[in-house]
Structure 1
Amino acid sequence: MSGMNQYGNTVLRWWQGMFEDSATLKAKGIPPAPTSHKAQLKRCDSADAVMLQEGFRMLWLELLNQGLEDVPQNLEAWATVAAVLVHIKQDNGEKLAAQAGKKVNKHGEPADKSIVSELRFAKLQNAPTPDDFLKRIRRIVLQLDGKASPTKVADDILQWFDEFYAWSPRKADKRISVRWAMDYYQAANQKYSKSKTA
Protein backbone atom coordinates (compact mmCIF):
# COMPACT_ATOMS: atom_id res chain seq x y z
CA MET A 1 0.00 0.00 0.00
CA SER A 2 1.29 3.44 -0.83
CA GLY A 3 1.16 5.98 1.95
CA MET A 4 0.39 9.62 2.27
CA ASN A 5 3.41 10.94 0.35
CA GLN A 6 1.63 10.25 -2.91
CA TYR A 7 -1.96 10.89 -1.80
CA GLY A 8 -1.70 13.52 0.94
CA ASN A 9 -2.93 16.41 -1.20
CA THR A 10 -5.94 14.38 -2.39
CA VAL A 11 -6.91 13.48 1.17
CA LEU A 12 -6.49 17.04 2.39
CA ARG A 13 -8.58 18.47 -0.45
CA TRP A 14 -11.29 15.84 0.17
CA TRP A 15 -11.39 16.72 3.87
CA GLN A 16 -11.34 20.48 3.18
CA GLY A 17 -14.25 20.05 0.76
CA MET A 18 -16.37 18.86 3.67
CA PHE A 19 -15.21 21.19 6.44
CA GLU A 20 -14.01 24.54 5.10
CA ASP A 21 -16.33 27.42 4.25
CA SER A 22 -17.27 28.14 0.64
CA ALA A 23 -15.14 31.30 0.35
CA THR A 24 -12.01 29.46 1.50
CA LEU A 25 -12.77 26.54 -0.83
CA LYS A 26 -13.33 28.88 -3.77
CA ALA A 27 -9.98 30.58 -3.13
CA LYS A 28 -8.28 27.17 -3.11
CA GLY A 29 -10.17 25.93 -6.18
CA ILE A 30 -11.79 23.08 -4.26
CA PRO A 31 -15.43 22.21 -4.94
CA PRO A 32 -17.48 21.96 -1.74
CA ALA A 33 -18.82 18.51 -0.92
CA PRO A 34 -22.57 18.16 -0.46
CA THR A 35 -23.42 18.44 3.25
CA SER A 36 -25.11 15.04 3.04
CA HIS A 37 -21.73 13.37 2.44
CA LYS A 38 -20.39 14.38 5.83
CA ALA A 39 -23.62 13.46 7.61
CA GLN A 40 -23.82 10.03 5.96
CA LEU A 41 -20.18 9.22 6.72
CA LYS A 42 -20.55 10.27 10.36
CA ARG A 43 -23.42 7.80 10.81
CA CYS A 44 -21.37 4.84 9.54
CA ASP A 45 -20.31 2.40 12.24
CA SER A 46 -17.94 0.30 10.12
CA ALA A 47 -15.58 0.53 7.17
CA ASP A 48 -18.03 -1.64 5.21
CA ALA A 49 -20.77 0.95 5.72
CA VAL A 50 -18.40 3.74 4.66
CA MET A 51 -17.63 1.93 1.40
CA LEU A 52 -21.28 2.33 0.36
CA GLN A 53 -21.35 6.11 0.77
CA GLU A 54 -21.03 8.62 -2.05
CA GLY A 55 -18.70 10.79 0.05
CA PHE A 56 -16.21 7.94 0.27
CA ARG A 57 -16.59 7.01 -3.40
CA MET A 58 -15.48 10.53 -4.35
CA LEU A 59 -12.23 10.00 -2.43
CA TRP A 60 -11.74 6.40 -3.58
CA LEU A 61 -12.20 7.15 -7.29
CA GLU A 62 -9.76 10.04 -7.10
CA LEU A 63 -7.20 7.78 -5.39
CA LEU A 64 -7.67 5.13 -8.11
CA ASN A 65 -7.21 7.83 -10.78
CA GLN A 66 -3.87 8.62 -9.15
CA GLY A 67 -2.71 5.02 -9.39
CA LEU A 68 -3.77 3.44 -6.10
CA GLU A 69 -4.08 -0.32 -6.50
CA ASP A 70 -7.71 -1.50 -6.36
CA VAL A 71 -7.40 -4.32 -3.81
CA PRO A 72 -9.60 -5.14 -0.79
CA GLN A 73 -6.95 -4.17 1.79
CA ASN A 74 -6.58 -0.71 0.25
CA LEU A 75 -10.35 -0.28 0.13
CA GLU A 76 -10.68 -1.19 3.81
CA ALA A 77 -7.78 1.05 4.86
CA TRP A 78 -9.03 4.07 2.94
CA ALA A 79 -12.62 3.54 4.12
CA THR A 80 -11.23 3.64 7.66
CA VAL A 81 -9.40 6.87 6.81
CA ALA A 82 -12.68 8.41 5.62
CA ALA A 83 -14.59 7.13 8.67
CA VAL A 84 -12.10 8.81 11.01
CA LEU A 85 -11.35 12.03 9.11
CA VAL A 86 -15.02 12.93 8.95
CA HIS A 87 -14.79 13.48 12.74
CA ILE A 88 -11.83 15.89 12.49
CA LYS A 89 -13.34 19.37 12.60
CA GLN A 90 -10.16 21.43 12.77
CA ASP A 91 -6.75 20.85 11.21
CA ASN A 92 -4.37 21.94 13.95
CA GLY A 93 -1.35 20.32 12.28
CA GLU A 94 -0.72 18.01 15.24
CA LYS A 95 -0.04 14.29 15.35
CA LEU A 96 -2.79 12.24 16.96
CA ALA A 97 -0.61 10.65 19.64
CA ALA A 98 1.08 13.91 20.62
CA GLN A 99 -2.28 15.62 20.90
CA ALA A 100 -3.65 12.72 22.98
CA GLY A 101 -0.72 12.83 25.40
CA LYS A 102 -0.94 16.55 26.17
CA LYS A 103 -1.76 17.44 29.74
CA VAL A 104 -4.22 20.24 29.14
CA ASN A 105 -7.92 20.73 29.82
CA LYS A 106 -10.61 21.75 27.32
CA HIS A 107 -9.65 25.40 27.75
CA GLY A 108 -5.99 24.77 26.90
CA GLU A 109 -4.84 25.22 30.49
CA PRO A 110 -2.30 22.89 32.12
CA ALA A 111 -3.83 19.78 33.71
CA ASP A 112 -2.65 16.80 35.75
CA LYS A 113 -3.79 14.15 33.27
CA SER A 114 -3.33 13.65 29.55
CA ILE A 115 -6.32 14.39 27.32
CA VAL A 116 -6.55 10.68 26.50
CA SER A 117 -5.81 8.24 29.31
CA GLU A 118 -2.90 5.83 29.03
CA LEU A 119 -5.35 2.91 29.19
CA ARG A 120 -7.47 4.16 26.29
CA PHE A 121 -4.36 4.95 24.28
CA ALA A 122 -2.91 1.49 24.99
CA LYS A 123 -6.16 -0.06 23.74
CA LEU A 124 -5.71 1.78 20.45
CA GLN A 125 -2.14 0.53 20.14
CA ASN A 126 -3.28 -3.04 20.77
CA ALA A 127 -6.39 -3.07 18.58
CA PRO A 128 -6.72 -6.69 17.39
CA THR A 129 -8.89 -6.11 14.28
CA PRO A 130 -9.56 -3.34 11.78
CA ASP A 131 -13.09 -2.88 13.20
CA ASP A 132 -11.73 -2.47 16.73
CA PHE A 133 -9.06 -0.11 15.45
CA LEU A 134 -11.68 2.07 13.72
CA LYS A 135 -13.83 2.30 16.85
CA ARG A 136 -10.87 3.11 19.08
CA ILE A 137 -9.20 5.71 16.89
CA ARG A 138 -12.51 7.42 16.17
CA ARG A 139 -13.23 7.57 19.92
CA ILE A 140 -9.85 9.23 20.49
CA VAL A 141 -10.46 11.79 17.73
CA LEU A 142 -13.79 12.64 19.36
CA GLN A 143 -12.09 12.93 22.75
CA LEU A 144 -9.66 15.41 21.16
CA ASP A 145 -12.71 17.47 20.18
CA GLY A 146 -12.03 16.78 16.51
CA LYS A 147 -8.71 18.64 16.49
CA ALA A 148 -5.81 16.94 14.69
CA SER A 149 -4.02 16.94 11.35
CA PRO A 150 -6.14 15.04 8.79
CA THR A 151 -3.10 14.04 6.75
CA LYS A 152 -1.10 12.87 9.77
CA VAL A 153 -4.05 10.87 11.10
CA ALA A 154 -4.58 9.35 7.65
CA ASP A 155 -0.89 8.44 7.48
CA ASP A 156 -1.12 6.74 10.89
CA ILE A 157 -4.16 4.75 9.78
CA LEU A 158 -2.46 3.61 6.57
CA GLN A 159 0.65 2.60 8.48
CA TRP A 160 -1.48 0.62 10.95
CA PHE A 161 -3.05 -1.28 8.03
CA ASP A 162 0.37 -1.85 6.44
CA GLU A 163 1.55 -3.44 9.66
CA PHE A 164 -1.70 -5.34 10.27
CA TYR A 165 -1.46 -7.00 6.87
CA ALA A 166 2.36 -7.18 7.15
CA TRP A 167 2.96 -5.57 3.77
CA SER A 168 6.12 -3.92 4.91
CA PRO A 169 7.92 -5.30 7.96
CA ARG A 170 9.38 -2.47 9.98
CA LYS A 171 12.13 -2.10 12.51
CA ALA A 172 10.78 -1.64 16.01
CA ASP A 173 11.44 2.11 16.03
CA LYS A 174 9.49 2.53 12.77
CA ARG A 175 6.35 0.69 13.90
CA ILE A 176 3.26 2.80 14.45
CA SER A 177 2.72 1.61 18.04
CA VAL A 178 6.27 2.61 18.98
CA ARG A 179 5.99 5.96 17.22
CA TRP A 180 2.65 6.63 18.91
CA ALA A 181 4.07 5.73 22.33
CA MET A 182 7.02 8.06 21.82
CA ASP A 183 4.78 10.94 20.69
CA TYR A 184 2.25 10.32 23.48
CA TYR A 185 4.74 10.16 26.34
CA GLN A 186 6.85 13.01 25.00
CA ALA A 187 3.74 15.22 24.99
CA ALA A 188 2.65 13.90 28.40
CA ASN A 189 6.01 14.85 29.92
CA GLN A 190 6.02 18.43 28.62
CA LYS A 191 4.91 21.38 30.69
CA TYR A 192 2.30 23.42 28.85
CA SER A 193 1.55 27.07 29.09
CA LYS A 194 -1.53 28.65 27.56
CA SER A 195 0.56 30.08 24.72
CA LYS A 196 1.69 26.59 23.62
CA THR A 197 -1.85 25.29 23.33
CA ALA A 198 -3.53 28.30 21.77
Structure 2
Amino acid sequence: MSEEQFTPHILRDRDGEEGVAERLTQWWARLQGADDIEEPPFPSGTLAVLKRATGPDDALLSEGFRRLWFALPPGRRNSWEMRAWGGVAVLLANVKHQDSDRLFAAAMAEERQSSSGSGSGKPVVSELRFRQLLHSRDLDEFVRRARRAVHLIDQRVDVRSLADDLLLWHREKNGRFTARPDHRLAVRWADAYFTRLARYEKAQR
Protein backbone atom coordinates (compact mmCIF):
# COMPACT_ATOMS: atom_id res chain seq x y z
CA MET A 1 0.00 0.00 0.00
CA SER A 2 1.32 3.42 -0.95
CA GLU A 3 1.84 6.09 1.69
CA GLU A 4 -0.12 8.52 -0.48
CA GLN A 5 -3.90 8.36 -0.41
CA PHE A 6 -6.27 10.29 -2.61
CA THR A 7 -7.99 13.11 -0.74
CA PRO A 8 -10.56 14.96 -2.86
CA HIS A 9 -10.53 18.73 -2.80
CA ILE A 10 -12.72 19.60 -5.76
CA LEU A 11 -14.29 16.16 -6.28
CA ARG A 12 -15.41 16.08 -2.64
CA ASP A 13 -19.09 15.15 -2.32
CA ARG A 14 -21.55 17.85 -1.33
CA ASP A 15 -25.15 17.55 -0.12
CA GLY A 16 -27.20 15.95 -2.86
CA GLU A 17 -24.12 15.19 -4.96
CA GLU A 18 -22.88 11.79 -3.87
CA GLY A 19 -20.20 9.83 -5.67
CA VAL A 20 -18.68 12.55 -7.87
CA ALA A 21 -15.24 10.90 -7.97
CA GLU A 22 -16.85 7.50 -8.58
CA ARG A 23 -18.83 8.88 -11.53
CA LEU A 24 -15.62 10.22 -13.01
CA THR A 25 -13.85 6.86 -12.58
CA GLN A 26 -16.78 5.02 -14.16
CA TRP A 27 -16.73 7.42 -17.12
CA TRP A 28 -13.02 6.74 -17.60
CA ALA A 29 -13.56 2.96 -17.43
CA ARG A 30 -16.30 3.12 -20.07
CA LEU A 31 -14.11 5.39 -22.22
CA GLN A 32 -11.28 2.85 -22.06
CA GLY A 33 -13.63 -0.07 -22.72
CA ALA A 34 -12.83 -1.86 -19.47
CA ASP A 35 -14.25 -5.38 -19.11
CA ASP A 36 -15.02 -5.30 -15.39
CA ILE A 37 -17.78 -2.69 -15.41
CA GLU A 38 -21.55 -3.06 -15.40
CA GLU A 39 -22.35 -0.46 -18.07
CA PRO A 40 -21.23 -0.97 -21.68
CA PRO A 41 -18.23 0.87 -23.10
CA PHE A 42 -18.73 4.02 -25.11
CA PRO A 43 -19.09 3.78 -28.89
CA SER A 44 -16.03 3.02 -30.96
CA GLY A 45 -13.99 6.11 -31.72
CA THR A 46 -15.01 8.08 -28.62
CA LEU A 47 -11.62 7.58 -27.00
CA ALA A 48 -9.67 8.27 -30.19
CA VAL A 49 -11.40 11.63 -30.70
CA LEU A 50 -10.50 12.79 -27.20
CA LYS A 51 -6.91 11.60 -27.52
CA ARG A 52 -6.57 13.67 -30.70
CA ALA A 53 -8.08 16.77 -29.11
CA THR A 54 -5.75 19.75 -29.30
CA GLY A 55 -6.94 21.11 -25.97
CA PRO A 56 -9.94 21.82 -23.73
CA ASP A 57 -11.92 23.75 -26.35
CA ASP A 58 -11.54 20.98 -28.89
CA ALA A 59 -12.68 18.43 -26.30
CA LEU A 60 -15.90 20.34 -25.61
CA LEU A 61 -17.15 19.40 -29.08
CA SER A 62 -16.67 15.66 -28.53
CA GLU A 63 -19.13 12.95 -27.55
CA GLY A 64 -16.73 11.76 -24.85
CA PHE A 65 -16.84 15.12 -23.11
CA ARG A 66 -20.63 15.34 -23.36
CA ARG A 67 -20.93 11.96 -21.67
CA LEU A 68 -18.65 13.13 -18.86
CA TRP A 69 -20.44 16.46 -18.46
CA PHE A 70 -23.90 14.93 -18.14
CA ALA A 71 -22.63 12.22 -15.81
CA LEU A 72 -21.84 14.97 -13.29
CA PRO A 73 -24.45 16.13 -10.76
CA PRO A 74 -26.32 19.22 -12.05
CA GLY A 75 -24.72 21.42 -9.42
CA ARG A 76 -21.28 20.67 -10.86
CA ARG A 77 -22.20 21.63 -14.41
CA ASN A 78 -21.45 25.34 -14.35
CA SER A 79 -20.17 27.22 -17.40
CA TRP A 80 -17.26 28.73 -15.45
CA GLU A 81 -15.62 25.31 -15.05
CA MET A 82 -16.69 23.74 -18.33
CA ARG A 83 -13.32 24.31 -20.04
CA ALA A 84 -11.53 22.83 -17.04
CA TRP A 85 -13.66 19.70 -17.32
CA GLY A 86 -12.75 19.64 -20.99
CA GLY A 87 -9.13 19.53 -19.89
CA VAL A 88 -9.96 16.67 -17.53
CA ALA A 89 -11.45 14.73 -20.44
CA VAL A 90 -8.31 15.25 -22.55
CA LEU A 91 -5.94 14.15 -19.79
CA LEU A 92 -7.93 11.12 -18.69
CA ALA A 93 -8.23 9.93 -22.28
CA ASN A 94 -4.44 9.56 -22.18
CA VAL A 95 -4.42 7.41 -19.00
CA LYS A 96 -4.32 3.70 -19.81
CA HIS A 97 -4.20 2.25 -16.29
CA GLN A 98 -6.07 3.39 -13.19
CA ASP A 99 -3.81 2.99 -10.13
CA SER A 100 -5.34 4.23 -6.88
CA ASP A 101 -1.91 4.03 -5.17
CA ARG A 102 -0.22 6.31 -7.70
CA LEU A 103 -1.12 9.97 -7.21
CA PHE A 104 -0.12 12.38 -9.95
CA ALA A 105 2.43 14.59 -8.16
CA ALA A 106 4.24 11.68 -6.48
CA ALA A 107 4.26 9.67 -9.71
CA MET A 108 6.08 12.51 -11.48
CA ALA A 109 8.91 12.21 -8.95
CA GLU A 110 9.42 8.46 -9.27
CA GLU A 111 12.92 7.43 -10.24
CA ARG A 112 13.56 7.04 -13.95
CA GLN A 113 15.18 3.76 -14.92
CA SER A 114 18.41 3.78 -16.90
CA SER A 115 18.94 1.72 -20.06
CA SER A 116 20.54 -1.00 -17.94
CA GLY A 117 17.40 -1.27 -15.80
CA SER A 118 18.90 0.30 -12.69
CA GLY A 119 17.85 3.57 -11.10
CA SER A 120 19.12 6.70 -12.82
CA GLY A 121 18.89 8.91 -9.75
CA LYS A 122 16.61 11.30 -11.68
CA PRO A 123 12.81 11.70 -11.63
CA VAL A 124 10.70 10.70 -14.61
CA VAL A 125 9.46 14.29 -14.75
CA SER A 126 12.35 16.65 -14.09
CA GLU A 127 12.14 19.40 -11.50
CA LEU A 128 12.15 21.94 -14.32
CA ARG A 129 9.18 20.31 -16.07
CA PHE A 130 7.42 19.94 -12.72
CA ARG A 131 7.79 23.66 -11.94
CA GLN A 132 6.79 24.66 -15.46
CA LEU A 133 3.62 22.59 -15.17
CA LEU A 134 2.64 24.12 -11.85
CA HIS A 135 3.31 27.65 -13.15
CA SER A 136 1.57 27.20 -16.51
CA ARG A 137 0.29 30.49 -17.90
CA ASP A 138 -3.19 29.25 -18.78
CA LEU A 139 -5.35 26.14 -18.93
CA ASP A 140 -4.26 25.20 -22.45
CA GLU A 141 -0.62 25.21 -21.41
CA PHE A 142 -1.35 23.24 -18.26
CA VAL A 143 -3.21 20.56 -20.19
CA ARG A 144 -0.44 20.35 -22.80
CA ARG A 145 2.28 19.98 -20.18
CA ALA A 146 0.22 17.61 -18.01
CA ARG A 147 -0.53 15.38 -20.98
CA ARG A 148 3.21 15.10 -21.61
CA ALA A 149 3.74 14.24 -17.93
CA VAL A 150 1.06 11.52 -18.10
CA HIS A 151 3.01 9.82 -20.89
CA LEU A 152 6.26 10.15 -18.95
CA ILE A 153 4.70 8.27 -16.03
CA ASP A 154 3.66 5.46 -18.39
CA GLN A 155 0.02 6.55 -18.53
CA ARG A 156 -0.63 4.95 -15.14
CA VAL A 157 -2.07 7.11 -12.36
CA ASP A 158 -5.09 7.57 -10.11
CA VAL A 159 -7.51 9.26 -12.50
CA ARG A 160 -9.31 10.93 -9.58
CA SER A 161 -6.07 12.51 -8.43
CA LEU A 162 -5.25 13.82 -11.89
CA ALA A 163 -8.71 15.31 -12.38
CA ASP A 164 -8.84 16.83 -8.91
CA ASP A 165 -5.42 18.45 -9.36
CA LEU A 166 -6.39 20.03 -12.68
CA LEU A 167 -9.64 21.39 -11.30
CA LEU A 168 -7.90 22.78 -8.22
CA TRP A 169 -5.18 24.37 -10.40
CA HIS A 170 -7.89 26.02 -12.50
CA ARG A 171 -9.67 27.44 -9.47
CA GLU A 172 -6.47 28.80 -7.97
CA LYS A 173 -5.39 30.28 -11.30
CA ASN A 174 -8.62 32.25 -11.21
CA GLY A 175 -7.99 33.50 -7.68
CA ARG A 176 -10.12 31.02 -5.74
CA PHE A 177 -7.72 29.91 -3.02
CA THR A 178 -8.61 27.86 0.03
CA ALA A 179 -8.05 29.47 3.40
CA ARG A 180 -5.77 26.61 4.47
CA PRO A 181 -2.30 26.87 2.92
CA ASP A 182 -1.73 23.11 3.24
CA HIS A 183 -4.69 22.50 0.93
CA ARG A 184 -3.23 24.62 -1.86
CA LEU A 185 -1.93 22.80 -4.89
CA ALA A 186 1.64 24.15 -4.76
CA VAL A 187 2.05 22.98 -1.15
CA ARG A 188 0.50 19.56 -1.77
CA TRP A 189 2.47 18.97 -4.96
CA ALA A 190 5.78 20.14 -3.51
CA ASP A 191 5.33 17.91 -0.49
CA ALA A 192 4.46 14.83 -2.57
CA TYR A 193 7.07 15.40 -5.27
CA PHE A 194 10.07 16.25 -3.12
CA THR A 195 9.23 13.63 -0.48
CA ARG A 196 9.32 10.95 -3.19
CA LEU A 197 12.45 12.46 -4.71
CA ALA A 198 14.26 12.37 -1.37
CA ARG A 199 13.82 8.61 -1.08
CA TYR A 200 16.35 7.73 -3.74
CA GLU A 201 18.46 10.88 -3.57
CA LYS A 202 19.32 10.04 0.04
CA ALA A 203 20.23 6.46 -0.92
CA GLN A 204 22.80 7.72 -3.43
CA ARG A 205 24.69 9.94 -0.99
Report the TM-score range of the alignment, normalised by the length of the smaller protein: 0.7 to 0.9
Give me the whole-angstrom Cα distance separating, in 2, the residues matched to 1:129 and 1:138: 14
Report what 1:76 is aligned to.
83
Q: From the superposition, tell whether residues 73 and 106 of structure 1 become closer, same or farther in structure 2 (CA, over 3 Å).
A: farther
Report what 2:142 is aligned to.
133
Question: Unaligned regions of 5+ residues in structure 1, if any?
Answer: 193-198
Give me the whole-angstrom Cα distance separating, in 1, the residues matched to 2:33 and 2:120: 31
Identical-pair percentage: 30
Are positions 1:16 and 2:29 aligned together? Answer: yes
1:12 maps to amino acid: T
Report what 1:100 is aligned to.
108
Give me the whole-angstrom Cα distance separating, in 2, the residues matched to 1:62 and 1:109: 43
Give me the whole-angstrom Cα distance separating, in 1, the residues matched to 2:54 and 2:21: 24
Once the 2 structures are TM-superposed, how far is the Cα of residue 131 of structure 1 from its aligned partner? Answer: 0.8
Query: What do you get for the CA RMSD once the two structures are aligned?
Result: 2.0
Moved more, 106-115 or 44-53: 106-115
Give me the whole-angstrom Cα distance separating, in 2, the residues matched to 1:18 and 1:109: 35
Question: Unaligned regions of 5+ residues in structure 2, if any?
Answer: 1-8, 14-19
Give me the whole-angstrom Cα distance separating, in 2, the residues matched to 1:14 and 1:141: 18
Once the 2 structures are TM-superposed, how far is the Cα of residue 103 of structure 1 from its aligned partner? Answer: 1.3
2:84 maps to amino acid: A
Moved more, 162-171 or 51-60: 162-171
Give me the whole-angstrom Cα distance separating, in 1, the residues matched to 2:200 and 2:92: 29
Are positions 1:118 and 2:91 aligned together? Answer: no
**1:24-53 CA deviation, whole Å, 9 max, x = no partner?**
12xxx1221123110000000110100000
Report what 2:160 is aligned to.
151
Segments ≥4 residues shifted beyond 6 Å: none
Once the 2 structures are TM-superposed, how far is the Cα of residue 182 of structure 1 from its aligned partner? Answer: 1.0
Once the 2 structures are TM-superposed, how far is the Cα of residue 19 of structure 1 from its aligned partner? Answer: 2.0
SS in 2 for 1:113: strand
SS in 2 for 1:112: strand
Report what 2:3 is aligned to.
none
User: Going by fraction, where is helix more abundant, 1 or 2?
Assistant: 1
State the TM-score, normalized to the length of structure 2. Answer: 0.83
User: Going by fraction, where is strand more abundant, 1 or 2?
Assistant: 2
Q: From the superposition, tell whether residues 189 and 157 of structure 1 become closer, same or farther in structure 2 (CA, over 3 Å).
A: same
Contact 1:18 1:35 in 2 (8 A): no
Give me the whole-angstrom Cα distance separating, in 1, the residues matched to 2:186 and 2:77: 27
Once the 2 structures are TM-superposed, how far is the Cα of residue 109 of structure 1 from its aligned partner? Answer: 4.7
Contact 2:109 2:123 in 1 (8 A): yes
Number of positions where the alignment pairs a residue of Structure 1 with one of Structure 2: 185
1:180 maps to amino acid: W
